[in-house]
Amino acid sequence: MFDRTNRYKGYGGYGFFKILFTSLVTSLIVGLLLILFISRNNPGIIPKVGSPSPGSDLGISEGSPKPQQIGTELIASPSPITSVAKNASPGVVGISVLRVDGTSIFDTDTAEKWGIGSGVIVSSNGYILTNHHVAGGKSKRLIVSLADGRNVDGITLWSDPVLDLAIVKISISDLTPLSLGDANALEVGEQAIAIGNPLGLELQRTVTSGIISALNRTIRIETEQGTNYMEDLIQTDASINPGNSGGPLLNSKGQVVGINTIKVTTAEAIGFAIPINVAVPIIKKFDDKGTFDEPYMGVFAYDKEIMPIIDGNLKLDSGVYVVNVDKDGPAFKAGIEEGCIIKQVDGVDINTMLGLRTLIYSKNPGDTINITHIDKHSGKTVTVPLTLSAKDRDGLLTR
């Protein structure tokens, strides 16, 4: 009888190994012939069989094509933040002020105390830009701490409590100022880097980073003196804490685009900086002449971002709305009243109060400018000449 079991056993024994041996020998012969064929027709391609020892002859003649080396090398590129922080940190200073009383819109405490903030070197002649609430008002002493460890006395030459900017001078000339950028060129979402001294000088030149979260922001500040508004601010999620005030907000090029001023305490990752553009003409005049004779227009105005907050019935598409006029100032003499809307200065469109300040600061007392505004009585657009005067520091807080 036919035994299926014995047949399969026989095939799985001697017969199976015979066939396997034959297949292996055939494959080996075919492989050797293939290698020989490739090596004769492609003399520049050498099978890798191991690393050659020093002085080994790989059989490559001088005119033969060289083997192509293909590989991947991972190179860790430094973060832009690293470069910006390294280059900018020497231009950031600590500022310690022994106050006599609280004179800023942020500080109403009249007790004598040390306040600590930050500042930015903006001139090799010793000028430092910071916040008014850091260096403004009356003080007994102001000390500037430099990156190289030196502590020097400084003096506040100019400050504006509403704009919250101040200029401090130290008698040192071997300083490297930071490069100033253009805040008008900022875009939401681009990188933002803040450097300052959070929580005191023991954490000097702390670097935080984030993005530009929003532009032209307006915030309301409640004080014992009433309600104040800060306009046209840069909003960022880069951490800004007490002590960071007065330090720079930098772009990815390491240029100063803002001066850090305040953080919303009721929310995380919401800080604000004053656009640098408004300070540029002030810095230039200090650097050129050693003084800043502030030109005075004699108006206080709000832009379209604030008007709906103050009065829902007052809405602007452009221009700034005049809410206060110094009756002894140039604007009143030129016929500008409360309720007028300033549209242009010397043909330049004005849409923010910061833009108006920047343009006025570029002028000098005695200069005559042309103001285009909408008259509150007739509703007509008129252009009138206005001669700027010098600002009385004890007078109306006008821009």
Q: What digits encode the pLDDT tens for the residues 21-66?
A: 565 556 666 555 555 544 455 444 333 333 333 333 333 334 434 4
Query: From the CB of residue 268, how many other CB atoms can be counted at a distance below 10 Å?
Result: 10
Q: How confident is the model at residue 107 (pLDDT cuts 50, 70, 90)?
A: low
Catalytic, out of 132, 139, 160, 164: 164
**Which CATH superfamily hosts domain 183-280?**
Trypsin-like serine proteases (2.40.10.10)
- Binned at pLDDT 50, 70 and 90, residue 291 comes out as very high
* Mean pLDDT of all residues belonging to the chain: 79
Do 197 and 110 form a contact (C-beta atoms < 8 A)? no
Please tell me the predicted confidence (pLDDT) of residue 348: 96
Cβ-count burial of 30 within 10 angstroms (0-12 exposed, 13-18 middle, 19+ buried)? exposed
Task: Find the catalytic residue in 96, 123, 133, 139.
Answer: 133
For the record, the structure tokens of 383 come out as 């252009």
- Judge whether residue 193 has pLDDT over 50: yes
Q: Look up the CATH number of domain 81-170.
A: 2.40.10.10
Contact 376, 338 (CB under 8 A): yes
Q: Where in the chain is the domain with CATH 2.30.42.10?
A: 293-390
- Predicted pLDDT of residue 102: 52
CB 121 within 8 A of CB 230: no
Across 71-75, 113-117, 361-365, least confident range: 71-75
Which one of 132, 245, 303, 326 is the catalytic residue? 245
Query: What are 326-371's pLDDT values in tens digits?
Result: 999 999 999 999 999 999 999 999 998 889 999 999 999 999 999 9
Residues carrying CATH 2.40.10.10, the chain: 81-170, 183-280
- Reported as a pLDDT band with limits 50, 70 and 90, residue 198 is low
DSSP 390: E
Over pLDDT 70: what percentage of the chain?
71
Q: What's the fold here for domain 293-390?
A: Pdz3 Domain (2.30.42)
DSSP 3-state of 395:
coil
Strand partners, 84: none
Higher pLDDT: 312 or 172? It is 172
245 in active site:
yes
Q: Is-contact 218 302, C-beta < 8 A?
A: no
